[in-house]
Amino acid sequence: MGAAQLARLLGSQHSAPAAAPGRRAPAYRNLADGVRLLVLEGRVPVAARLPAERELAAALSVSRTTVAAAFDALRAEGFLQSRRGAGSWTAVPPGKPLPTRSLDPLPPESAAGIIDLGCAALTAPEPWLTQGFHSALGALGPAAGTHGDFPAGLPALRRALADRYTARGVPTMPEQIMVTTGAMGAVAAICRMFTPAGERVAVEHPSYANVLQLMREAGVRLVPVPMLDNGLGGWDLAGWRRVLREAAPRMAYVVADFHNPTGALAGDEQRRELVAAARAAGTVLVVDETMADLALDRAPGEAAPRPVSGFDPGGSTVITVGSASKSFWAGMRIGWVRATPDVIRELVARRAYADLGTPVVEQLAIAALMTEGGWEAAVEERRERIREHRAAIVPALRAHLPEWEFAVPSGGLTLWVRTGGLSGSRIADAGERFGVRVPSGPRFGVDGAFEGYVRIPFTIGEPAASEAAARLAAAARFVAEGARYGTQTPRGYTA
């Protein structure tokens, strides 16, 4: 982390931490608080080496004494570690309760009275779900006459998926497709092939919580690459080039289309530059297109960004992951991988030691919807419902929590919300007491980043959206009062 870069990040913060009434915080305290906030927000990664005191003082136009005092305060708080001759690097205090796993779905017996914003998924689209399964049962005969083991996926679905990529401008053969059990099955298979324990994997920061946890449990070394303005500004290409060049990760995982959790959409030039940087570094670029169908504000006739694989005509760098979970229904558990035929053959061969294959009837249903009609209508129903939910939750949050900050994305299913300086983890914990469930920011980060965030999905409409915002506001007041009185159970609350 160079001095100029750190100075730029400090200057981009929305506001300096507030001092007590009638007092002005000393300069070193403002600097220490600014660095601490950058670490907690994930804009400066944990274990990033900070510039020398003299260099940072010059970049910030402050005295070296001010920087030294700020570094001392950060070391005392556990946000900085130093060693003579090795410099100083960022850290997170030990023992800090930082959740990493995603929220499990609430069982029906526990869901009564709870507004669940933990899962970014919608209920099934009808009549298309029923239509797909009726078609699947009609086509089941030939498949039922086999052993039912299709490790690469049903030929009909592989052809349908290849045709869809070709229609998007990326010529694809069925031999370049493997059908998987959801997108997570696809990512897990790719990780097993490319990243044995100890390998480095570069990830956007923040990123999709379930994939981060999958990789942690696989024993890989996550290398976070902060997004510009915490995702609202898209990819930091300079940061990506630096990480790919210096860390030489074996693999990188990105969500270019309506990123989860921020909703950011990468443009064509960003996609082209990232592919070129990955190719130069010898890094396999895994691109998750789970949200690609969920453009909400695209004008009629407006072209979508080109698939990232379209910038890799030789196919040596990009592997694409797709899924029916967000654009159709998560209950189908149909995902896929698009890669070169030799990569697909190796993934299929390795599958014998994993899940063997994906359920046949679900594959038949998706293939029928894609080839016989119904898929596009079902996806448009998804988009319209998400638009309605977005139009409900956004004004509700602004009315009940005007101090919370967010940018409304043009697609996808999620809103990345800065919680006005409060702990997202504590808001999530308090929220369950007030009847609303929401995932905290650290679930989407590495090493405790994004403490000041929560993710809110577009999965509920009115009147539930207004009620959810009101309950979140009550949880935020509870947390704020706890901070004021120095306790987690402030006076006057009975949750």
Q: What is the reported pLDDT for 230?
A: 66
Q: What residue ranges in 130-169 does DSSP mark as E strands?
A: none
Q: How confident is the model at residue 13 (pLDDT cuts 50, 70, 90)?
A: low
Of 43-47, 67-71, 201-205, which range is least confident?
43-47
**Could you tell me which residues come within 8 angstroms of residue 184 by beta carbon, excluding any fewer than 6 positions away?**
210, 211, 214, 335
Q: Check whether 493 has a pLDDT greater than 80.
A: no
Q: How far is Cα 450 from Cα 98, in angstroms, rounded to an integer?
A: 10
Q: Which two tokens stand for residue 493?
A: 């609350």
At 1, the amino acid letter reads M
Give SS3 for 298. Answer: coil
Q: What is the arithmetic mean of pLDDT over 437-442?
A: 92
Q: What is the reported pLDDT for 112?
A: 63
Element (H, E) at 115: strand 115-116
Query: Model's pTM, two decimal places?
Result: 0.82
In CATH terms, is domain 3-90 a member of 1.10.10.10?
yes
**Could you tell me which residues come within 8 angstroms of residue 96 by beta carbon, excluding any fewer than 6 positions away?**
78, 448
Q: Which two tokens stand for residue 441?
A: 């920011």
Q: How far is Cα 270 from Cα 295, in angstroms, rounded to an integer?
A: 18
Q: What is the reported pLDDT for 40?
A: 74
Of 27-41, 48-62, 152-166, which range is least confident?
27-41
Q: What is the arithmetic mean of pLDDT over 283-297?
A: 97
User: Over the stretch 112-137, which tens digit does the pLDDT of each residue have?
Assistant: 688 999 999 999 999 999 999 999 99
Q: Which two tokens stand for residue 172?
A: 């694809």
Of 80-84, 107-111, 182-186, which range is least confident?
107-111
Q: What is the reported pLDDT for 86?
A: 84
Q: How confident is the model at residue 487 (pLDDT cuts 50, 70, 90)?
A: very low
DSSP one-letter code for 295: B
Q: What is the reported pLDDT for 95?
A: 57
Q: What is the arithmetic mean of pLDDT over 467-486?
A: 83
User: Over the stretch 335-366, which tens digit does the pLDDT of each residue have?
Assistant: 999 999 999 999 999 988 878 889 999 999 99
Q: What is the reported pLDDT for 355?
A: 84
DSSP string, 423-489: -HHHHHHHHHHTTEE--BGGGGSSTT--TTEEEEES---TTHHHHHHHHHHHHHHHHHHHHHHTSSS
Round the average pLDDT of the chain to a whole number and report it.
88
Q: How far is Cα 146 from Cα 360, in angstroms, rounded to an integer?
A: 11
Q: What is the arithmetic mean of pLDDT over 281-292?
A: 97
The CA radius of gyration of the chain, in Å to the nearest whole number, is 24
- Residue with the bigger pLDDT between 2 and 17: it is 2
CA torsion angle for 83, 84, 88, 94 (degrees, to 10)?
20
61 Ramachandran zone, left/alpha/beta (phi>0; psi -120 to 50): left
Q: How confident is the model at residue 405 (pLDDT cuts 50, 70, 90)?
A: very high
Is residue 430 within 8 Å of 475, Cβ to Cβ?
Answer: yes
Q: What interhelical angle do 341-350 and 182-194 show, nearest 10?
A: 100
Give SS3 for 116. Answer: strand
CA-wise closest residue to 117 among 474, 438, 464: 438
Instruction: Report CA-CA distances (Å) from 1 to 88, 91, 225.
Output: 11, 14, 12
Q: Check whether 171 has a pLDDT greater than 70.
A: yes
Q: What is the arithmetic mean of pLDDT over 315-327?
A: 96
Q: Check whether 191 has a pLDDT greater than 50.
A: yes
Q: What is the reported pLDDT for 106?
A: 59
Q: Check whether 81 has a pLDDT greater than 50.
A: yes
Longest dimension (CA), the chain: 81
Is residue 250 within 8 Å of 284, Cβ to Cβ?
Answer: yes
Location of structure tokens 């274990």: 47
Q: What is the arithmetic mean of pLDDT over 216-241?
A: 87
Q: How confident is the model at residue 42 (pLDDT cuts 50, 70, 90)?
A: confident
Q: What is the reported pLDDT for 9?
A: 79
Element (H, E) at 337: strand 335-338
Q: Do β-strands 335-338 and 318-323 pair in parallel, antiparallel, or remain unpaired?
A: antiparallel
Q: What is the reported pLDDT for 34?
A: 85
Q: What is the arithmetic mean of pLDDT over 413-429?
A: 90
Q: How confident is the model at residue 94 (pLDDT cuts 50, 70, 90)?
A: confident
Q: How far is Cα 282 from Cα 248, in angstroms, rounded to an integer?
A: 8
In CATH terms, is domain 108-120+380-485 a member of 3.60.20.10?
no
Q: Check whether 282 has a pLDDT greater than 60.
A: yes
3-state secondary structure 197-257: CCCEEEEEECCCHHHHHHHHHHCCEEEEEECHHHHCCCCCHHHHHHHHHHCCCCEEEECCC
Q: Do β-strands 318-323 and 200-205 pair in parallel, antiparallel, or remain unpaired?
A: unpaired
Q: What is the arithmetic mean of pLDDT over 253-272?
A: 95
Q: Which two tokens stand for residue 51?
A: 């510039």
Q: What is the arithmetic mean of pLDDT over 208-237?
A: 88
Q: What is the reported pLDDT for 429?
A: 83
Q: What is the arithmetic mean of pLDDT over 406-428?
A: 92
Q: How far is Cα 10 from Cα 19, in angstroms, rounded to an integer?
A: 17
Q: What interhelical angle do 464-485 and 375-400 show, nearest 10?
A: 40
Q: How far is Cα 322 from Cα 385, in angstroms, rounded to an integer?
A: 21
Q: What is the reported pLDDT for 228?
A: 87
Tell me, which fold does domain 128-373 have in CATH?
Aspartate Aminotransferase; domain 2 (3.40.640)
Give SS3 for 87. Answer: strand
DSSP one-letter code for 139: T
CB-based burial of residue 122 (10 Å sphere; 0-12 exposed, 13-18 middle, 19+ buried)? buried
Of 13-27, 235-249, 428-442, which range is least confident?
13-27
Q: Where are the domains of the chain?
A: 3-90, 108-120+380-485, 128-373
Q: Check whether 18 has a pLDDT greater than 80.
A: no
- The distance from CA 381 to its chain's CA centroid, rounded to whole angstroms, is 24
Q: Check whether 64 has a pLDDT greater than 80.
A: yes
At 159, the amino acid letter reads R
User: Over the stretch 371-387, which tens digit does the pLDDT of each residue have?
Assistant: 988 999 999 999 999 99
Give SS3 for 263. Answer: coil
At 464, the amino acid letter reads A
